[in-house]
Structure 1
């Protein structure tokens, strides 16, 4: 594992930026401080154009290389934190109650800043490097908002690359999956409206909690009894809310959850079966059952040729032995998928020290990843926009 010398020289600075961002996490569309730091650093390092406010708190930077080419390669990082109370014990742990960088977006932002500093100083490429710092990746639609506000109309680019940390991989190990790589996701809510009663006289009720509990088990059999075994689909009920007192049978209950899929037909089938179960419960129990499902993430699809280019650039930094092409897609989701639907590109994961999984209050991102990820991001720009050709 190696890094570009100029980026390695900035390792201490990158660590300071990272620790500051980690200590001051901000939830999606609230990344005002984070965006301000990003814009300030980009301007201080001589980035040619710095645009703020796209997608609410998003930042876009443009760096023009030594060559006069008209091609543009974009790099993207997410900035938002999660609504989690940190339990890492770090000296630079979150100072914001109820918010934590438990997914490593502070590291992603720092890595892209490291690449930006290097590219602005060297400019050893022919064309333009575009830096996209995106808000609200964690299910809040940050990518879609940036796109809706004209990201690629205002700043056209030819290809785009993203990266995510991976605490479950060996440090410095980069992996990429060609084609469909990460699942699409629906979020759903099921609301049962029955009739409440005194808990001592449940025969006077239409018990919404009992009906909702029955639906939990039924909904989670949809995949095993409807989706072919050769397809990948996941249904998880993740929330149930009902009741307000020990002695009251509740008249309303709500279930919430998610569907993960790689095939739109399987998503549609799953939604249809859940809707049918809800209709059946409404008839069987004489209540009203409302099912609402909405798309949050599209399937992330990596362009095959640009995946090869990304891995080639990574090998320059990490060595061939540390770059692998995986074949098994991941059932997690990522809204970079929305950008890849508009502009071709690729998305990879990079391993770092630590064994606590993402979205955990004890998650710790290994800081050794910062100059490594920055080097890979910078190298793909130089490889795709070579000087003198």
Structure 2
């Protein structure tokens, strides 16, 4: 994986967990809309969604051992269309990042409990959709050693890091590593905006470095007889 803010040509990896599992959630709230001047005649989904988002923040801070990695981020809130109308519906959505299945299950459980509590407290209907995504990406320790050796032949030992911290980002390569032992590496491209950023610009200088790594890996694992 290409990675800005690492020196050009630096390879980064680690044995074991390297990237988090990713799930997402969608929460639809349906109340009773009405005139903003007469809120007592409504079941206000705006108030409900605000309370919901505040309660979700406690999953990390109050329901989880903070010494273990967990991210729960609400990234969307949509509701309303006019300043004098209390809307009928509201929506909240977000992402969950974990490394352990137990933590993943706890988050789902707490989200459902919070949704039920908000529904009862604010007299609204709350529907939660929880979508399970990529699993955590786990590198094989032996394959990391092999990959680091090959990377050092390309960039030098001082340009290979094999104890990189876990990333809360996620990768679909995790499915491959569930089936076949392997190693995932990141390749530095120098300073600049991060990936998934509109200002990101791929550094063409690293293309031969990455290509050389893969070619050398093939030569190492499948040498030509008699060569």
- Taking structure 2 as the reference length, what is the TM-score of the superposition? 0.96
* Structure 2: distance between partners of 1:380 and 1:209: 56
Higher relative contact order (Cα pairs below 8 Å, separated by 6+ residues)? 2
1:308 alignment counterpart: 145
Q: Does 1:266 align with 2:121?
A: no
Q: For residue 248 of structure 1, report the CA deviation from its aligned partner.
A: 1.2
Equivalent-residue separation in structure 1 for 2:192 and 2:164 (angstroms): 23
Q: 2:179 aligns with which of 331, 337, 342?
A: 342
Hey, what's the Cα distance between the residues in 1 that align with 2:191 and 2:66? 34
Q: Which SS does the other structure have where 1:177 is aligned? A: coil
Q: C-alpha displacement at 1:292, in angstroms?
A: 1.2
1-structure distance, mates of 2:223, 2:140: 20
Structure 2 residue corresponding to 1:351, chosen from 177, 181, 188: 188
Aligned with residue 190 of structure 1, among 27, 32, 36: 27
What is the distance in 2 between the residues matched to 1:243 and 1:184? Answer: 33
Q: Partner of 2:77: helix, strand, or coil?
A: strand
1:373 to 184, 189, 210: 210
Alignment partner, residue 286 of structure 1:
123
Q: Deviations over 1:11-59 (max 9, x none)?
A: xxxxxxxxxxxxxxxxxxxxxxxxxxxxxxxxxxxxxxxxxxxxxxxxx
**Contact 1:354/1:365 (<8 A) preserved:** no
Give how far 1:342 is off: 1.3
Q: What secondary structure does 2:53 align onto?
A: helix
CA distance in 1, matches of 2:183, 2:31: 48
Which of 326, 332, 357 is equivalent to 2:169? Answer: 332
How much does 1:198 deviate? Answer: 1.0
Task: Give the CA deviation at 1:245.
Answer: 2.2
Query: Alpha-carbon deviation of 1:327?
Result: 4.2
Segments ≥4 residues shifted beyond 6 Å: none
Report the Cα offset of residue 209 of structure 1: 1.5
Pair 1:321 & 2:168 matched: no
Q: 1:267: how far off?
A: 0.8
RMSD between aligned residues: 1.2
Note if 1:240 corresponds to 2:67.
no
Give, in angstroms, the shift of residue 360 of structure 1. 1.3
For 1:314 and 1:344, locate their aligned partners in 2 and report how far apart those are by CA, in whole Å: 18
1:377, CA displacement in angstroms? 1.4
Structure 1 position 247, deviation (Å) = 2.0
Contact 1:354 1:366 in 2 (8 A): no
Query: For 1:346, what is the secondary structure of its paired residue?
Result: coil
Q: Which residue in 2 is equivalent to 1:180?
A: 17
Instruction: Give the 3-state SS of the residue equivalent to 1:341 in structure 2.
Output: helix
2:144–2:162 CA contact under 8 A, matched in 1 = no
